[in-house]
């Protein structure tokens, strides 16, 4: 593997992280991050949809007229999302129960359409594949980071195990305000790091 190949994948992890740097896909990163388990479920689903949609869109970009490219992309994405939705309901009913609505909403996750427009429509299928995997993993990293903070502070748990025995958690961190607060401070921490 050449250096540029590796770079194509790893750029999404941190320096172009879709959530923490590009501020895309904020709804799911707030809504499903009540536990690390849900965050992983959402992350894997998004990686699947993003990678496949990137590849398919890079393959069909030649035959789709540019005036109707957005509806065509949306059809591709919605189809992939429905497949994930059905497969989760069949094989992982617990995860499907917990984040079901937000799986359907991957369709309007701006990361997917954003990468389709900004990358897949201009690059080869191979590079789009790498970009999709990288961006997807970056999204999952951000999700798991937020979820870990919220689950530890809000429920004193991680993967269902107690973290600090005897400590009473701050319940509001699992609720809606905790999501905004966590993301706000994470973005602040990232700004602090990037500046120095």
Among 93, 118, 122, 124, binds other proteins (CB under 8 A): 93
Residue 168 burial class via C-beta count within 10 angstroms: exposed 0-12, middle 13-18, buried 19 and up: exposed
Point out which span in 2-10, 21-29, 123-131, 134-142 binds other proteins (CB under 8 A): 21-29
> Using the rule CB under 8 A, is 66 a contact of other proteins?
no
Please say which residue, 10 or 98, places its beta carbon nearer to other proteins.
Answer: 98
Please say which residue, 21 or 127, places its beta carbon nearer to other proteins.
Answer: 21
> Using the rule CB under 8 A, is 22 a contact of other proteins?
no
Q: Is 158 helix (H, G, I), strand (E, B) or coil?
A: strand
Among 108, 125, 127, 133, binds other proteins (CB under 8 A): 108
Among 16, 104, 125, 127, binds other proteins (CB under 8 A): 104
| Those residues with Cβ within 8 angstroms of residue 47's Cβ, 6 or more apart along the chain or in another chain | 132, 133, 136, 137, 139, 140
Q: Which segments of 16-155 are extended strands (E)?
A: none
Point out which span in 6-14, 73-81, 120-128, 140-148 binds other proteins (CB under 8 A): 73-81
Q: Which segments of the chain are extended strands (E)?
A: 157-158, 161-162
Q: How many residues does the chain have?
A: 196
Please say which residue, 9 or 152, places its beta carbon nearer to other proteins.
Answer: 152
Name the minimum Å distance from CB 144 to other proteins.
15
> Using the rule CB under 8 A, is 70 a contact of other proteins?
yes
Q: 65: which 2 tokens?
A: 């007229």
- Footprint on residues 113-142 left by other proteins (CB under 8 A): 113
> Using the rule CB under 8 A, is 168 a contact of other proteins?
no
| Angle, CA of 20, 25 and 26, to the nearest 5° | 70
Q: Is the separation of the CB atoms in 109 and 92 below 8 Å?
A: no
> Using the rule CB under 8 A, is 75 a contact of other proteins?
yes
Residue 118: C-alpha distances to residues 35, 44, 164 (Å): 31, 22, 44
Name the minimum Å distance from CB 3 to other proteins.
32
């Amino acid at each position: 593997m050449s250096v540029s190949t590796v770079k194509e994948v790893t750029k999404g992890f941190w320096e172009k992280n879709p959530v923490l740097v590009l501020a895309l896909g904020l709804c799911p990163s707030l809504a499903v991050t009540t536990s690390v388990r849900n965050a992983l479920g959402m992350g894997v689903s998004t990686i699947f949809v993003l990678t496949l949609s990137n590849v398919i869109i890079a393959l069909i970009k030649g035959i789709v007229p540019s005036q109707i490219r957005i509806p065509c992309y949306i059809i591709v994405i919605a189809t992939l999302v429905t497949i994930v939705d059905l497969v989760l309901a069949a094989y992982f009913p617990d995860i499907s129960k917990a984040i079901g609505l937000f799986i359907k909403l991957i369709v309007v996750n701006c990361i997917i359409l954003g990468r389709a427009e900004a990358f897949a429509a201009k690059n080869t299928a191979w590079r789009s594949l790498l970009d999709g995997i990288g961006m997807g993993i970056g999204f999952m990293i951000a999700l798991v980071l937020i979820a870990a903070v919220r689950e530890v502070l809000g429920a004193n748990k991680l993967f269902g195990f107690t973290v600090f025995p005897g400590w009473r958690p701050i319940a509001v961190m699992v609720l809606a305000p905790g999501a905004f607060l966590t993301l706000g401070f994470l973005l602040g921490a990232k700004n602090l790091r990037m500046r120095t």
